[in-house]
Structure 1
Amino acid sequence: MGKKLKAYRFPLILLSSIIIGSIIGLIFGEKAGVIRPLGDLFINLLFMVVVPLVFFSISSAVANMDSMRRLGKIMGSMITIFVITGIIASVTMVVATIIFPMGSGVDISLETPENVETVTLSEQIVSTFTVPDFVNLFSRQHMLALIVFSVLIGIATGLTGEVGKPFARFLESGSEIFMKVIQLIMYYAPIGLGAYFAALIGDMGAELIGDYAQAFLLYYPVAILYFAIGFTLYAFIAGGKKGVTRFWKNILTPAATALGTGSSFATLPVNLQAAKNIGVPKDIRETVLPLGATIHMDGSCLSAILKIAFVFGVFNMDYSGIDTFLTAIGIALLSGVVMSGIPGGGFIGEMVIVTLYGLPIQALPIISAIGVVVDPPATMVNATGDTVASMLVSRQLEGKDWMDQVNVEEPQQHSLTV
């Protein structure tokens, strides 16, 4: 019993710090913002290491693959699983919004947003997958371009053969070093997450009590249930009872980090460590997780359906019929799997909602505000969904006994004693 509690010690410390921070935010309100810099420091440390970590992890994974066929199998399985889980998340929220109608009785003043820029699809595609200058790759705003570059480096290293082996070892060494940097940063996590959550609750308290309380009261329970029940089921499909045990032993730290930071990219380093502890093969976890942080968003699928249902209620539109629901699921899938990888993709997804349903442009700020209210649990589902997706990819590629084929490390305890 003591050994089991020790394995969960650090996640429990993180969750406790979030609860304490939330209580501070509720008690002191906006005054709690005075400790936000302590939280911003933690998030900046994570963001600071994301770019080199993504580069080294993806390029080393690709460079050390046995063949390009292996990369193709991983990518194909990954996309299939991303789409299927996105559809399941969307259908889950459709059912929830049918049972608990949204937007009725809500009084929100309509304001027309200013300076809404229009960008062509071709321009979006070019800016998403490429950058005009090498130095632009050093920004997390161009994460998909960095991933493309990392894959190309990995492929080129593998194709170079014997001459490329020293560089492949350098890439692998860099990947391990930056994972160690993450472990060092996580010593500060309890303070950083507690402070950030105190400021977050202090700022958002009024919004959650006001007109958006409906969205808050529906989304949070649905997201938590999808996380607890849906991901447990996915973990069971991936690895049976052993898969469920390993998933829950390692997922609480990424979940707490995502909940506190509101960023899949900030959670990526911790997620990679969790997947390693679970036993996901190196090439799978270092391909699926960075891409998943960019283009796999079950939590965003949930919120897209909620936005649609909410705005239908506000404008007294008929939220019924198979056509309405199929369109909503299609938009959610675009928002959660496709557009999430595009810079400003969330805003584009909201514009698609407004355009396809013929809503007035004033609906845009309403939809955007919902996104702010539900962001913490949405990010938690987004980030942890990548981890369980990597388990499903492992199951599909390695067979039912994949968890017995690797040496599993014990979860990092992050002892806070010196």
Structure 2
Amino acid sequence: MKNLGLLPKILVAIVLGVGIGSISPIWVVKGLATFSGLFGNFLGFAIPLIIIGFIAPGIGELGKGAGRLLGVTTGVAYLSTILAGTLAYWVSVSIFPHILEVGGLVNQYANPEEALVKPFFTVDMPPIVGVMTALLLAFTLGLGATVIKGNALQNVMVDLRDIVEKLIASVIIPLLPLHILSVFSNLTYGGQVTMILSVFVKVFVMIIVLHLFYLFVQYMIAGQMGRKNPFTLIKNMLPAYFTAIGTQSSAATIPVTLNQTKKNGVSEKIADFVVPLCATIHLSGSTITLVSCSMAVMMLNDMTTSFSMMFPFILMLGVTMIAAPGVPGGAVMAALGLMETMLGFTTTLTSLMIALYIAQDSFGTACNVTGDGAIAVITDRLSEEKAA
């Protein structure tokens, strides 16, 4: 198991969870539910730390960039991320009611949470601050670090980010498969797993199609603006796409993305600046996944999915995932707080979101990094126009 990647571990955990929930006595499921409850509470404690640890140093580093070029790149990347999330919302609204059983869990159970086995005991682990307080604090510290003289505050925030990344990589990610196993054993024991697994397959297919469609749109725009053949641009970026599928990390794919972006005729100065920056701020593929999965989970539980509620969530996603770590599942970890506060997700629903997200994380990362090449072409063209 140590040699397996995170995705195979998650898939194995789901299969084992379904098997255990099908044949085990209630005390086994109850024991797993106890672990799941403790892990979920610890995750709730860690969420504000993740938000502060990622966003504050990320904003601080962005603010010390190259002025106008930074503004252009950040603006284009953020707009791309928001458009991706908005597209995912409208596609979900249009398609999910026809392929998913809307309110399916609520129709079977008056309260789906009540159908789950309760743990032997729980331990309260309150976070040091609320999610919105953590966001405001992160913005304040990050923006403050860009305007004061000296690097002491920024160095502290970077150290905090390193600690949080270690926490995720060394504690949360290794225990995540056992948490998913516990959740699925409980869902199976409660009779809810068949519907949820069918949702997994349908949502997975739709997300991959959306990723490919959005990449096509990005490169059509980039080709038009950069006066280049969009199909040639896409062909040149395929090595970056497939590398990202294997690494599941935007950061680890940077060398390949950079090389292929330069092959697309982007100036070396622009490519060297835009590609590493977009690896942390441009997450169109991850946003498509998070919005689509959120919509599926909410519809399954007959929760409100109005655009007036989801659009602020999409806007915040574009900011919250800044500098998400280069570990698999980093984006969904950074977004958990928003799901709880803005969408009303419970611990069980966030666990489903984690499983749904990680099941296609490599494809979301591939969409992110391949889209970075389009952002570089657009930024290169905009920079030429401003220079002229």
> Which range, TM-score by smaller chain?
0.5 to 0.7
Residue 383 of structure 1, CA deviation: 0.7
2:318 counterpart of 1:323: no
Which residue in 1 is equivalent to 2:287?
301
Instruction: State yes or no: 1:71 paired with 2:57.
Output: no
Aligned length: 271
1:51-70 equivalent positions in 2, closer than 5 A: none
Q: Which runs of 5+ in 2 are unaligned?
A: 1-7, 13-63, 146-152, 167-193
For structure 1, the residue ranges without an aligned partner over 5 or more in a row are 1-24, 31-68, 143-205, 403-418
Partner of 1:353: helix, strand, or coil?
Answer: helix
Structural mapping, 1:10-29, within 5 Å: none
The 5-angstrom pairing of residues 277-292 of structure 1 reads 277-292=263-278
Q: Shift in Å at residue 379 of structure 1?
A: 0.7
SS at match of 2:66: helix
The partner residue of 1:237 within 217, 220, 224 is 224
CA distance in 2 between counterparts of 1:214 and 1:271 reads 30
Deviation at 1:314, TM superposition (A): 2.7
SS in structure 1 opposite 2:259?
Answer: helix
Alignment RMSD (CA, Å): 4.1
Superposed CA offset, 1:168-208 (max 9, x none): xxxxxxxxxxxxxxxxxxxxxxxxxxxxxxxxxxxxxx999
Amino acid paired to 1:399: E
1:327 and 1:225, CA in 2 relative to 1: closer, same or farther beyond 3 A?
Answer: same
Cα deviation code 1:380-416 (max 9, x no counterpart): 11111111101110010013999xxxxxxxxxxxxxx
Q: Given the alignment of the two structures, is residue 351 of structure 1 paired with residue 341 of structure 2, yes or no?
A: no
Q: Tell me if the contact between 1:215 and 1:306 (Cα under 8 Å) persists in the aligned partners.
A: yes
- Corresponding position: 1:369 with 2:378: no
Q: Does 1:391 align with 2:377?
A: yes
Counterpart of 1:219 in structure 2 is: 207
Are the equivalent residues in 2 in contact too, given 1:261–1:376 (CA < 8 A)?
A: yes
Correspondence for 2:324: 340
Alignment map for 1:122-133 (pairs within 5 Å): 130-132=154-156
- Name the TM-score, length of structure 1 as normaliser: 0.55
CA contact (8 A) 1:237 1:392 kept: no
Q: What is the CA–CA distance in structure 1 between the aligned matches of 2:252 and 2:195, rounded to whole Å? A: 25
Secondary structure of 2:347's counterpart equals: coil
Structure 1 range deviating more: 251-260 or 349-358: 349-358
Structure 2 partner of 1:250: 236
Residue 226 of structure 1: how far off its partner (Å) = 1.4
CA contact (8 A) 2:241 2:370 kept: yes
Q: Is the 8 A contact 2:245 2:365 kept in 1?
A: yes
Q: Give the SS at the match of 2:324.
A: helix
Q: Which amino acid in structure 2 is aligned with residue 226 of structure 1?
A: Y
Shift of 1:317: 1.2
| Preserved contact between residue 275 and residue 285 of structure 1 (Cα < 8 Å) | yes
Equivalent-residue separation in structure 2 for 1:211 and 1:134 (angstroms): 39
1-structure distance, mates of 2:128, 2:283: 23
Does structure 2 retain, via aligned residues, the 8 Å contact 1:301–1:332?
yes
2:76 is aligned with what amino acid?
I
Q: Deviations over 1:222-270 (max 9, x none)?
A: 112212x212223223322x24254123101001111222211121110
CA contact (8 A) 2:199 2:296 kept: no
**TM-score under structure 2 normalisation?**
0.59
Mapping 1:78-227, distance limit 5 Å = 78-101=73-96, 104=102, 105=104, 118=127, 120=129, 121=134, 130-132=154-156, 141=165, 210-227=198-215
**TM-aligned CA deviation for residue 356 of structure 1:** 1.4
